[in-house]
Amino acid sequence: MKKLWAPRPLVLGYAALDRALKKVGLHLPYDASWFISTEGVMLVSSSARAKAELGWSPRFSTASAVLRRFCEIAPRRLDRRLALALRLVGREGRRQIPPPACVHLCITGEHGGDYSVVVTDGRLSIRQGAPEFPQSAIFLSSALFCRLLAGEAAVKQSWQTGGISFEGNLDGRKILDWIVETFASLRAQAGATGTIARLLGRALESRLPSLPVCGARY
């Protein structure tokens, strides 16, 4: 954030022009009252009233705690292994179409990212980036997603322990189940696709110790 200094004569001139234009029904982009009425006034932000009157209790009480949490869950660059796994699932989905849905798959953590899973008119699309109008959103960490795809964790148990959370309708839960089950079926296949899926599953397993397991929303 930048602090800009403006000469007082310029501010007063702007205020005078603002008053003159308002008389004929015109308005400047910025209200001059913010310059004139707040001069010399110190604004102090406080959450005391929200705590006292609304009973608000912050999960992270200090700015440093908020920053640490942000660094834990903010995606930086999606792990290539996860990207390849989702690509394989997307190709398989052309043959085994899941139910219609528009889901935002939010993979948190350093190796996470946003994915849109859209099923409409019998067509499946899995693309990087959040959908414009999702009907459901799924939140889980990249580490947990690795465990689910590698068969080291179960979706149902992860829901129960809070490792996965969601917003919106139940389509997201169905889509996540379908993604994990489809990748498991790919690993069981014979041929080149099955071999690639099995190698990818082992690669995901090797990635597990270096990643945090907690899932979280933004």
Alpha helices (H) in 94-190, listed in sequence order: 142-150, 155-161, 171-188
- Render pLDDT for 135-185 as a digit per residue (tens, 0 to 9): 999 999 998 999 999 888 899 899 889 999 999 998 889 999 999 999 999
- Here the tokens at position 199 are 């190698």
- Render pLDDT for 84-121 as a digit per residue (tens, 0 to 9): 999 999 888 777 777 788 999 999 988 899 999 998 88
Domain membership of residue 27 as a residue range: 8-38
- If pLDDT is split at 50, 70 and 90, which confidence band does 213 have? very low
Residue 167 lies in a domain: yes
- CB neighbours (10 Å) of residue 180? 19
| In the chain, % of residues over pLDDT 70 | 91
Check whether residue 17 and residue 93 sit in a common domain: no
C-alpha closest to that of 146 among 120, 178, 111: 111
- Give the range among 26-35, 85-94, 160-169, 202-211 with minimum mean pLDDT: 202-211
Q: How far, in whole angstroms, is CA 27 from its chain's centroid?
A: 38
| Strand ordering across the sheet containing 123-128 | 123-128, 113-120, 101-108, 136-141, 165-168
- If pLDDT is split at 50, 70 and 90, which confidence band does 192 have? confident
Residue 18 lies in a domain: yes
> Is residue 117 helix, strand or coil?
strand
Residue 95 lies in a domain: yes
pLDDT at position 29 is: 79
Check whether residue 139 and residue 190 sit in a common domain: yes
Check whether residue 127 and residue 24 sit in a common domain: no
Residue 2 lies in a domain: no
Give yes or no for a contact between 58 and 47, defined as CB atoms under 8 angstroms apart. Answer: yes
The residue with tokens 């989702």 is 86
Residue 65 lies in a domain: no
Sign (positive/negative) of CA torsion 77, 174, 138, 102? positive
Q: What is the mean pLDDT of residues 49-74?
A: 84
Check whether residue 27 and residue 96 sit in a common domain: no
CATH number at residue 194: 3.30.1050.10
DSSP 76-101: -S--HHHHHHHHHHHHHHTTS---SE
- Here the tokens at position 141 are 């960490």
Q: What is the mean pLDDT of residues 77-88?
A: 88
* pLDDT of 217 strictly over 70: no
> Is residue 211 helix, strand or coil?
coil
Q: What is the mean pLDDT of residues 190-195?
A: 88
Check whether residue 114 and residue 205 sit in a common domain: yes
Check whether residue 95 and residue 199 sit in a common domain: yes
* pLDDT of 126 strictly over 80: yes
Check whether residue 128 and residue 31 sit in a common domain: no
Q: What is the mean pLDDT of residues 117-137?
A: 89
Residue 161 lies in a domain: yes
* pLDDT of 39 strictly over 90: no
Give yes or no for a contact between 158 and 164, defined as CB atoms under 8 angstroms apart. Answer: yes
pLDDT at position 178 is: 92
Check whether residue 15 and residue 101 sit in a common domain: no
Residue 3 lies in a domain: no
Higher pLDDT, 134 or 217: 134
Residue 182 lies in a domain: yes
* pLDDT of 211 strictly over 50: no
